[in-house]
Amino acid sequence: MKTVTFDAICRRAYGQVLKTPLKFKVTADVYTSSAEQIAAGALLTEKEQLKARNTQLKNKARASQQTAQLELAGIVPLEFKEDYDLQVKRMTAVYMANGLPEALSQTMAVAAIAEAKRLAAEAAEDDDDETDDE
């Protein structure tokens, strides 16, 4: 076995976005070979392997069927570009993650989105003007 150390970051916990992400180091002992794992008696038994593989296959099938059922019901993933509420929610979360209070974060998110839409409209007009000149 060897000891490895790596950096980790936690941005969300218990369903909440943390105001300040937690950064920390993690140290773990890991196997360097299958032989070492066998010697330590750390391999899964055939029964455990079968259970793990079947769980994996069932989860994959469930996810696939869920997607199909959602599509049949007309429930589609939100398109970020077209969903104003989702844009505000995510932008607000970004500001809050950087330490701003929720009310100010939401106000800034709404303003930033409005400005982005204004700039996009200007850029589209500029593109149209260039096309007309050709």
Per-residue pLDDT of the chain (134 residues; tens, 9 = 90+): 999 999 999 988 887 888 899 999 999 999 999 899 889 989 888 999 999 999 999 999 999 999 889 888 887 776 777 788 888 999 999 999 999 999 999 999 999 999 998 998 899 888 776 666 55
| Dihedrals phi, psi of 23, to nearest 5 degrees | -110, 135
All residues at 6 or more sequence positions from 102 whose CB lies less than 8 Å from its CB, including other chains: 92, 96
pTM value?
0.41
Provide long-range contacts, Cβ within 8 A and 24+ apart, for 106-114. Answer: 113/84, 113/87, 113/88
Q: Name the CA dihedral angle for 128, 130, 131, 132, rounded to a multiple of 10 degrees.
A: 90
For residue 109, which phi and psi values (nearest 5 degrees)? -65, -45
Sorted by where each begins, the domain ranges of the chain are: 1-43, 44-77, 78-134
Contact criterion met (CB below 8 Å) for 16 and 102: no
